[in-house]
Amino acid sequence: MAKLTMNNDILNKLSSLKSALDGYRPFSEHVVKQLKDYYRIRLTYTSNAIEGNTLTEAETKVIIEDGITIGGKSLREHHEAIGHAKAYDYIYSLLDKPISEEDILFLHKLFFEKIDSGNAGRYRLKNVIITGTDYLPPDYQKVPVLMKKHIDNLNKYVKDKHPLEQASDLHAEFESIHPFTDGNGRIGRLLLSILTKKNGYCPVIIPPIRRAEYIDAMQKSNKGDLNALRALVLSVIYEEMKSLNRLVESLAR
């Protein structure tokens, strides 16, 4: 078995947190609903914020749950909140089966259809650049083949990698392909959370305060250095698992 490159100390702590969480499984319907609702808002807010959306977490909540329009915020920001929440809801249907190309395209359609219906649920048909970096994504003509390989990797068990290391590396792989005209970060982070949840962990919540760290890690991964992203993913999952354990303990009383 190849040597793990992730922090074994945190992995051991995560194992303990996961074991404690497993003690409450299977969760009751009440706990499941509460957690789904909590992470719908939390994941939507943080993932959109990373991409520059200025909605607060409270504003995101009232848009999604109450249908209220926030004055001074753009129509696109509203659509990003609503679209991401729809895509988030869909990931729960993917936890107990292999992820297909159709699933990924549908995730993107759910998120992007009110923003750009012409490109929603479709791979990009032109070459793009990623602002703020010198990395050039693959030629658009290569995207379908690269995505088929990526999807095979998403559904493959790799015995010489910890599941969280594999999930982080697959996130880097997806983002390097950059298969869509827009929305790659949000769809990529939803896929990352699907992988972590499939293995009994929490969704991946990257707080806006760590946005610069995340962007830097992604830039390093595009140059072949995966360790910064692995460390970041492990760190945020560890912090969120502590919060999740507290939530479940409180809800289970």
Q: How far apart are CA 144 and CA 125, in angstroms?
A: 10
Q: What is the DSSP letter of 125?
A: S
Round to whole Å and give the CA distance between 139 and 30.
47
Residue with tokens 């003509």: 141
Q: Name the catalytic one among 78, 108, 162, 178.
A: 178
Query: What is the spatial distance between Cα 57 and Cα 45, in angstroms, rounded to a whole number?
Result: 5
Exposure on the CB side of residue 46, measured as CA atoms within 13 A? 21
CB–CB of 210/231 below 8 Å? no
How many CB atoms are closer than 10 A to CB 68? 12
Under 8 Å between Cβ of 242 and 81: no
> Exposed, middle or buried by CB within 10 Å (0-12, 13-18, 19+), for 154?
buried
> Of the candidates 10, 1, 4, which has an alpha carbon nearest to the alpha carbon of residue 232?
10
Q: Is 30 a catalytic residue?
A: no
| Residue type for position 91 | I
Tell me how crowded residue 5 is: count the other CB atoms within 10 A of its CB.
Answer: 14
Nearest to 163 by CA among 204, 205, 121, 208: 204
The residues that are catalytic are 178
